[in-house]
Every structure is written in C-alpha cells, then in structure tokens.
Amino acid sequence: MLPLPPWWIRRAVVAPLIFAVAVAAVVTLPVTAPLAAVWSLLWRGSRWRPLRALTLVVLYLALEAVGLVLLLVVWVVSGFGLWIRRPAFQRWHYDVVRLFLRALFAATQWVLHVRVEVEGPDPSSYTGRPLVVCCRHAGPGDSFLLVHALTSWYAREPRIVLKETLRWDPAIDTLLSRLPSRFVSARGRRSRPATMWGSVEGRTAEDEIGDLARQLDDNDALVIFPEGGNFTEHRRARAIERLRRDGHIDGAQRAERMRYVLAPKPGGVLAALDVAGEVDVVWVAHTGTDHLFTVADVWRALPTDMVIRMRWWQVPAGEVPAGREARIAWLFTWWHHIDSWIGQQRGERRRRTLRVRLAERRARIPR
C-alpha cells in the first residue's frame, strides 16, 4: 500500500480527483451501462455480473461525490470550520453518516439481493445508556453494516476505531476526522496526528481507544473490533503461532478451539472498560458473507442472493467483571460463544442448501 500523504494533499488533490472520477462515471453511464449489459448477455452464466458490478461502483462513487459536497456545505456553514466541533454540527455530520449508509445499504440490497436478519434485544432496550460494542470482523462491508445498524436502527452516535488505510477514501477521511474517531496503522500505532482530535504520533491503539471511551453519553456507542482485522484462515494460523511464540500457550490453545473467529486482542476492550466506567457491553456476531475473502470471491458470488444474520447480546454494566484477568477470561468466553453461534448458523445454511439442491434434483427427474 502506498504511504498515506499529508492531510492537505488528501483534501486538495485526492478528494477533487475522486470527485472528478465520480462525475465521469455518472456522465458516461449511458455508454458504459449498455456495454456492460451486452457483456452480461454474451457471457454465458454471468448472472449479469458485469452490469451489477458497474451499477454498484457507480452508485458508490455517486454517494461519495454527494457526501463530499454535503461535507463542504457543512464546513462553510460552520464558519469555514470555526464552529465545526459544536454539538449542532456534530449532529449534522452524524446525519450525513446515516443518510450515506442508508443509501448504500438500499443499493446493496437492490443490486446484490442481500437480506439482513437481526436477532437480539429490541432496539428500545438500548436507550438511555452508553455502550461499548464489540463486533466480529469478517466479510466485505461488515463495518459499514454495523455502523448503519447503530445509526439507523439503534439511534446511536458511534465512535469508531478503524484502519488508517481507509483515509484514502476522501468522504470517510473528511467525515471521521470531524467526529470522535481514531485511525490506527496496521502496526497498532498512529502514523501521524489526527486532523481535529489532537492525538500525537506514536500513541498505541489502546491509548486512542481509551481517549474515545471518555465521557460517553446516553446515545454514544464505542465500536471495537477485537480481532483487529478480517478473519482468514491464514490470519488465524498466524495469530495462534504468534501466541505460542510469545509464550501464551493457554491463549493459543483457546484460539485453536475457535474455528470461525480470530483470537481477540484484549488491549482495546480493556482500555475502553477501564476509562468508560459504567457502560453496557454489546456483543455482535454476523455470518453470511464471511466466506468472501477476496475481490474474486465477491465477483464469483454476484449476485449474492444471501441472507446476512446478525446476533446482538447486551450485558448490563453491573454484570461486567472487574479486574484485568477476569475481563480477559470474560472476553475469550464471549468469543467462544460467538464462534459457536457462527458454527450453528453455518450448519443450518449447509442443510438448507442441501435441501434446495435435492428438491431441484427431484424436480428434474421425469415421472
């Protein structure tokens, strides 16, 4: 990955370039769409993949361009950034997040035939308390789905820790630089200070998460992905080997017993709980697209025709254990529970697929 340029280059060069690409993509759609349709017709068994992929890319670029315009308008109205941290403008930025993700979610449902089913407590049970949300990380777009759920279904203002490489996306970079969020490098340290939130170079991810956990109010939700990255078999094996190499034999054995998740890194969760005080903890698991690891996997799956299942569990503040070791054990216990839930869902999906294939085979047998 190319090194991330300074913020002023991202604003003055990268953002206008992406905006120009978005405009070009929309303007040329009357030409590119028929070409993609012809390609889809000529490619036997394509299931309209080229046209679906083009539609999704153009829609995302269009949303990106609209988002950049809205962010520019908010910046101007806020006195060219002078009052951008005031609560009213913070709410405006969360409204932009909500609108962007709602549109993206609707486009994904339309183009990819994706349906989301949610299990767990009613959204009304989350009101009136700050939350620390710990989510499994696997499959394309799961972080977008989680933030969409928090903003649109649970009326929350999420504080997010995310990879610094996402700053290449101008809308994400600009938006989250104005909201309580932290971009961390792959090595777990910041490569440069944040534009608005005053972090200094060299701080650890745990330091950043601790800062975000301060003064959470009743409609805030601190979002943490304890695995630190999307699940793959290679990362799972590497994490287990690292635990063994560092002498954490018990942790390696516990990680080996988890088949569908990476061993959680407790540092961020501990930092959040140490600083946040009395907060409810929400655990989120999902499955449905976690077998799609690469762009090629996504391409072959188009249209996905998938059901994504999300499961939410809420633990009241009074049931959160105290003490470092107790909390680490508690985290691993929940991660084992999430792993078991994913295994059950995958088993049910395989059985449903087998029943459908058997029914199709019987329907082809002449009577």
- pLDDT tens readout for residues 138-148: 877 888 999 99
Calpha distance 239→13 (Å, rounded): 38
Q: What is the mean pLDDT of residues 72-77?
A: 95
> Any residues with CB less than 8 A from the CB of 305 and at least 6 apart, and which?
113
* pLDDT at residue 304, as a whole number: 64
pLDDT band at 302 (very low <50, low <70, confident <90, very high): confident
* pLDDT at residue 133, as a whole number: 95
User: Is there a contact between 222 and 212 (Cβ–Cβ < 8 Å)?
Assistant: yes
Share of the chain above pLDDT 90, in %: 54
Count Cβ neighbours within 10 Å for each residue of 163-186 and write b for 16 or more, e otherwise: ebeebebbbbbbbbbbbbbbbbee
Nearest to 233 by CA among 207, 256, 208: 256
* pLDDT at residue 46, as a whole number: 78
Q: What is the mean pLDDT of residues 123-148?
A: 86
The half-sphere exposure of 227 on its side-chain side, counting CA atoms within 13 A, is 28
Per-domain residue ranges for the chain?
Answer: 7-359
Beta bridge partners of 182: 161
pLDDT band at 126 (very low <50, low <70, confident <90, very high): confident
- Give me 242's structure tokens: 């690292």
Q: What is the mean pLDDT of residues 187-204?
A: 49
Residue type, 57: V
Outline where 78-141 has alpha helix (H).
Answer: 87-112
- Between β-strands 307-315 and 115-119, what pairing exists: parallel, antiparallel or unpaired? parallel
Q: The tokens 């994400």 sit on which residue?
A: 172
Calpha distance 122→52 (Å, rounded): 34
Calpha distance 233→319 (Å, rounded): 33
Calpha distance 315→76 (Å, rounded): 42
Q: The tokens 């104005």 sit on which residue?
A: 178
Residue 355 confidence (pLDDT) above 80: no
CA distances for 50 relative to 3, 106, 111, 139, angstroms: 31, 19, 11, 21
Helix (H) or strand (E) holding 314: strand 307-315
* pLDDT at residue 225, as a whole number: 92
* CA 172 centroid distance within chain: 12
